[in-house]
Chains A and B, each alone.
Chain A
């Protein structure tokens, strides 16, 4: 087991052993958050900056807490409070931050490929916290961690991902990861949001939610991005709900031990019924809890230990 990457830009370029190293490390680190003193000195003296150019509550505070539980110093800023509003380019912002001797930059940006762009000129480790419609690697890792914890394995499971696949970086990262680990992925939603070409990423496409739910082990619901609804990807929220929402009636036909996941934030009674979101079959809050352990693992594997020549 080893991990020699310099950055975490996406799941696509990780190998299966690297993914397993992250998951196993997270499993060891999870216990720290349950201690009375939730802190270990592993990353003492490291400086990390959270650069969030898009809104976020979960991911941003999760990275912050993960860094703090490993004793790193972290400072966060968002678009509104940065000099970008004064017209500074991204590259200049980042170069200025790096001049303050940062060790890692965690970036979320609406433009796909931003983390990769930063990695071409940055000295610091770059961690992708979501870029455009491209990837959200730590979300896929925490999802896989949660599935493995609940099901004991990933291989051979049928995972359905339901909703706005087209705009979802979460879906993309999950498809890459679940494929590498030998799970079967089925994408479900209206054709405008699940173009048939998505199958090329290594998933099946099914436009019939009732059929897809039936033998699913994991049902991953995505948020319907209501803010994108002015472009009319589907006729109405009401129609979407009747065809694709996860309702108790639909869920009854799923496998007995099926679990319900959602990366959040949820639209109650749009993509998922309130009753199911709060039920024992839902692991939504466990996903959030595991997010800290995964992000601790990523930070530790990238920044911990000896600094040496790394590739990527």
Chain B
């Protein structure tokens, strides 16, 4: 199905500014950056996580490790998916026991992905805290989940889709609101 671009809500300059602000907020809130680990949810959350880690290194000269989480095996919304989800690797090469874990995803919508991610994390160990960073908070949550750090809050209709495009995968940084097209 073709999709129609309704609006371009952020360009690379605004995205960069949002990243800088979030990295500052993280370093302010987490006194002990050495206890912090970042876990990105596949696929775009991983790239956002890596950028945040890089910024913290620039600001405070602390290496914050980044892990990759695939939540396919923890999903509860299979029935809504067209095709079977292919499982990809979870790569977390450090212990999360007693760590401050910063969970990172691109878009917060229903909250079900984050629920699955938290279940998965807790199977891997007992973190001291879990904080949540999402680049776009678009509303329509179905679970009591709120982000600690947000790139932008973007009220949308359910019909609309939010696309966070990142240089690493999509060649350029931008945030789009799209709508399924081809009807009428």
Instruction: Answer whether residue B81 sits at the interface, using C-beta atoms and an 8 A cutoff.
Output: yes
Stretch from B24-32, B43-51, B70-78 at the A interface: B70-78
Instruction: Answer whether residue A232 sits at the interface, using C-beta atoms and an 8 A cutoff.
Output: no
| B98, chain A: closest CB distance, angstroms | 14
Q: How large is the interface on A (under 10, 10 to 19, 20 to 34, 35 or more residues)?
A: 20 to 34
Please give, as numbers and ranges, the residues of chain A lying within 8 Å of B90 by CB-CB distance.
28, 31
Stretch from A39-47, A98-106, A240-248, A257-265 at the B interface: A39-47
Say whether B81 contacts A306, CB under 8 Å. yes
Stretch from B5-13, B106-114, B119-127 at the A interface: B119-127
Please give, as numbers and ranges, the residues of chain A lying within 8 Å of B81 by CB-CB distance.
305-306
Say whether B87 contacts A305, CB under 8 Å. no
Instruction: Answer whether residue A289 sits at the interface, using C-beta atoms and an 8 A cutoff.
Output: no
Instruction: Answer whether residue A36 sits at the interface, using C-beta atoms and an 8 A cutoff.
Output: yes
Say whether A28 contacts B70, CB under 8 Å. yes
Q: In the complex, A40→B76 CA distance in Å?
A: 13
Instruction: Answer whether residue A24 sits at the interface, using C-beta atoms and an 8 A cutoff.
Output: yes
Please give, as numbers and ranges, the residues of chain A lying within 8 Å of B70 by CB-CB distance.
28
Say whether A28 contacts B84, CB under 8 Å. no
| A229, chain B: closest CB distance, angstroms | 44
Q: Which residue of B lies closest to A2 (CB)?
A: B83
Say whether B84 contacts A304, CB under 8 Å. yes
Instruction: Answer whether residue A85 sits at the interface, using C-beta atoms and an 8 A cutoff.
Output: no
Please give, as numbers and ranges, the residues of chain B lying within 8 Å of A31 by CB-CB distance.
89-91
| A173, chain B: closest CB distance, angstroms | 23
Binding site for A on B (CB under 8 A): 70, 72-74, 78-79, 81, 83-91, 119-120, 123-125
The 4 closest A-B pairs by CB, nearest first: A42-B73, A305-B84, A40-B73, A28-B87
